[in-house]
């Protein structure tokens, strides 16, 4: 199946609310667990950059897992950021997680500042995925840990609809629609590997972590 682009921003209030209220407990916990596995025996401290933080669910989970880090989350959708700030307040993490409105590419991120860069479900929204890798190269400090998780494009529209039925049958129609569109807009592991080679990030690893997600990770050297 060829990639089908979707909107780069999820800023419709109903869309953002549906996403924030969706049941992502299992996949988001698995993303954090996968980070822990690939960066084993590392206590993440200092500044963390969360690109495309959305409603801050990953940021909150990451901050709880690594209590000595401080997270800067950036997103281009004000509706998502509003919901994210509410979630951070409810979690009691306002002193450790800061969200800001930024649309990639941006000149506002400080260069070579972040010892850890994470991102979940941003890449498939980007019409030009190289924007993500260039942002990482700008913001990551030398030897920074980088972990990017995203959806993985299935082989056909039929396979995409089967994944929606399997994992989102109980979710609102708007979330089912967005999940299908995002699957169609996602990349394959081979495509991500090619992007990394073009970005000069050949040392990064790319792997499928389940039937609908992939991860790219490594140290920024």
pTM for the structure as a whole: 0.95
Domains in the chain (CATH in brackets) are 13-220 (3.40.50.150)
Query: Phi, psi (5° rounding) for residue 65?
Result: -70, -35
| Among 84, 65, 64, 60, residue whose Cα is nearest residue 74 | 84
3-state helix vs strand vs coil in the chain, percent to 5? 45, 25, 35
Contact 181, 125 (CB under 8 A): no
- List the chain pLDDT tens, one digit each, 221 residues: 999 999 887 767 878 787 767 778 888 999 999 999 999 988 899 999 999 999 999 999 999 999 999 999 999 999 999 999 999 999 999 999 999 999 999 999 999 999 999 999 999 999 999 999 999 999 999 999 999 999 999 999 999 999 999 999 999 999 999 999 999 999 999 999 999 999 999 999 999 999 999 999 999 98
**Alpha helices, H only, 3-153:** 13-21, 25-38, 57-65, 78-91, 130-139
Q: How many CA atoms lie within 13 A of 27 on its CB side?
A: 19
């Amino acid at each position: 199946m060829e990639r089908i682009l979707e909107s780069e921003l999820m800023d419709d209030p109903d869309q953002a609310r549906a996403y924030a209220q969706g049941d992502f407990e299992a996949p988001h916990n698995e993303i954090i667990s996968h980070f822990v596995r690939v960066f084993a025996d590392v206590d993440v401290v200092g500044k963390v950059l969360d690109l495309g933080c959305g409603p801050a669910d990953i940021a909150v989970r990451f901050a709880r897992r690594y209590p000595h880090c401080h997270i800067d989350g950036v997103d281009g959708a004000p509706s998502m950021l509003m919901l994210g700030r509410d979630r951070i307040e409810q979690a009691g993490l306002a002193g450790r997680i800061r969200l800001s409105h930024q649309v990639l590419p941006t000149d506002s991120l400080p260069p070579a500042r972040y010892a850890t860069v994470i991102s979940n479900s941003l890449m498939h929204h980007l019409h030009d995925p190289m924007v993500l890798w260039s942002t990482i190269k700008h913001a990551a400090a030398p030897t920074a840990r980088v972990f990017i998780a995203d959806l993985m494009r299935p082989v056909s529209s039929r396979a995409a609809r089967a994944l929606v039925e399997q994992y989102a049958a109980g979710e609102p129609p708007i979330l089912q629609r967005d999940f299908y569109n995002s699957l169609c807009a996602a990349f394959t592991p081979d495509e991500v590997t090619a992007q990394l080679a073009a970005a000069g990030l050949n040392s990064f690893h790319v792997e499928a972590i389940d039937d609908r997600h992939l991860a790219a990770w490594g140290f920024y050297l």
